[in-house]
Amino acid sequence: MNFQQIKDKDSSDRLAHKRDEFHLPSGRIYLNGNSLGPLPRSAKLRAREIVERQWGEDLVASWNTHGWIDLPFTAGEKIAALIGAGPEQVLCCDSISINLFKLLAVCLQLQTGRRVVLSQEDNFPTDLYAAHGLQQLLGENRCELKAVGADQLQQCLTEEVAVLFLTHVNFRSGKLHDMQGLTRQAHEQGILVVWDLAHSAGVLPLELDAWGVDFAVGCGYKFLNGGPGAPAFIYANRKHHDNFEQPLRGWMGHASPFDFDPGWEPAGGIAQFLTGTPSILSLATLDAALDVFDDIALGDVRQKSTELSSLFLALVESRAELQDLVLESPRDAAQRGSQLAFSHPQSYAICRALNAEGVIADFRSPDLLRVGFSPLILTYEDIWRSVEILAKVVGEESYKAGEFNRRLKVT
């Protein structure tokens, strides 16, 4: 694709108008939306409104007058529309780690006589940590984590497994699991399934209800653009609501929290997954950020995502300076999420040098340069320019400068 063809793609882009709904610093190309989404203007305005008027002027009355108490549910319903979930099945609260701990405990509660928690050995570490913690708490006779390679998952779906929990899009390679197929195969063996949607929600079309998914978690700060530390979300299929009691009990998960009853009575349905007081500043900005999805179809988002990543890959492979970058993601765009990963011995320094040139990518240990594609903010010209700058950084070996080889706390 030549430069004029790239300009033509931008001219016909059905999502081009969305770029104006974000605050984007000039002179930068943001290829890191899969780690922290950019700031929607709506979220910026809502944060100011919350701080200056609702908190600043209306104080504690805002729990009622501005609907603070309902935000976990109102934001949850907006996310439900993005993941193929019907009403009253999605709630915004806590973090992925905490929500996953809740769900794994619930699954073991539902699966009397089964104890194996099956996952993938290169799953996102926090997911494995949560399962390890539950195993330590309950003992291996009640909870045993079994982590295997992706190619071994199907053969390990046996009757001893209580729950299969996987991340839909691998955080390193971007490889995509067949959620519908694996869920069906697990159910054939009586296994419950929990999906981590951290790199899926907001960028991939999902049909959790239609695919029979039992439970899911996801975060609000990646493709949902809710801001650093934005609350996560939790999905619980309605078919399970009356069959368990969520064990991480907190006052907001009580049926009548403001009765201050010392005895425990769980709230019904999805509400019982609440624990402590909601973080209103974060919830409100996430709720506002979700409005950018109101007038678009996720099918269009997915199409542009695959086109952006495919263009980036084709341009990288056309440049002689970049032949030492080894693709670690699936070549077929249909088999990957909205990212590409390349291995290189100097990937950390290359990433730092790229950032200094205004192209914001990220590094994943031990040697991956990871590039994320946020279709609502990126242009096709951005992709062309970013590869030009990458070729310059690598070709001129500017990444060898000492400043780019000193590790920062956050990579």
Confidence band of 285 (pLDDT split at 50, 70, 90)? very high
3-state secondary structure 122-162: CCCHHHHHHHHHHHHHHCCCCCEEEEECHHHCHHHCCCCEE
For 279-296, give one letter per residue: b (16+ CB within 10 A) or e: bbbbbbbbbbbbebbeee
pLDDT recorded at residue 64: 97
Query: Taken in order 56, 58, 64, 65, is the CA torsion positive or negative?
Result: negative
- Bridge partners (DSSP) of residue 176 are 169
Structure-block tokens of residue 349: 């320094």
pLDDT of 1 above 90:
no
Contacts of 21 (CB under 8 A, 6+ apart): 40, 41, 42, 292, 376
Half-sphere exposure in the Cβ direction for 117 (13 Å, CA): 34
Give how far Cα 370 sits from Cα of 4, 126, 332, 348, 408, Å: 27, 19, 17, 10, 16
Q: Which amino acid appears at position 381 of this protein? A: E
Crossing angle between the packed helical segments 380-395 and 3-11, to the nearest 10 degrees? 140
Residue range 107-165, pLDDT digits in tens: 999 999 999 999 999 999 999 999 999 999 999 999 999 999 999 999 999 999 999 99
β-partners of residue 251 are: none
Q: Which residue, 248, 172, 177, is CA-closest to 213?
A: 177
Rounded to whole angstroms, how far apart are CA atoms 17 and 121? 41
Q: Residue 326 corresponds to which tokens in the numbers above?
A: 């080894």
pTM over 0.85: yes
Q: Tell me how far apart the alpha carbons of residues 80 and 201 are, in angstroms, rounded to a whole number.
A: 10
| CA separation for the pair 131, 125 (Å, rounded) | 10
Whether 2 shows a pLDDT value over 90: the answer reads no
Q: Is pLDDT of 235 > 90?
A: yes
Q: How confident is the model at residue 61 (pLDDT cuts 50, 70, 90)?
A: very high
How large is the average pLDDT for residues 298-303? Answer: 98
What proportion of the chain, given as a percentage, has pLDDT over 70? Answer: 100
- 90's tokens: 């999605």
- Which residue numbers are catalytic? 124, 196, 221-222, 370
- Residue 367, classed as helix, strand or coil, is coil
Token pair of 275 as six digits:
């624990």
Asked if 380 contacts 13 with a C-beta cutoff of 8 angstroms, the reply is yes
| Tens digit of each residue's pLDDT (9 = 90 or more) over 343-373 | 999 999 999 999 999 999 999 999 999 999 9
Q: How far is CA 213 from CA 79, 143, 165, 191, 389, in A?
A: 16, 21, 11, 11, 42
* Gap between the Cα atoms of 302 and 231, Å rounded: 24
Q: Output the average pLDDT for the chain.
A: 97
List domains and CATH numbers for the chain: 3-30+297-405 (3.90.1150.10), 48-293 (3.40.640.10)
> Is 87 within 8 Å of 116 (Cβ atoms)?
no
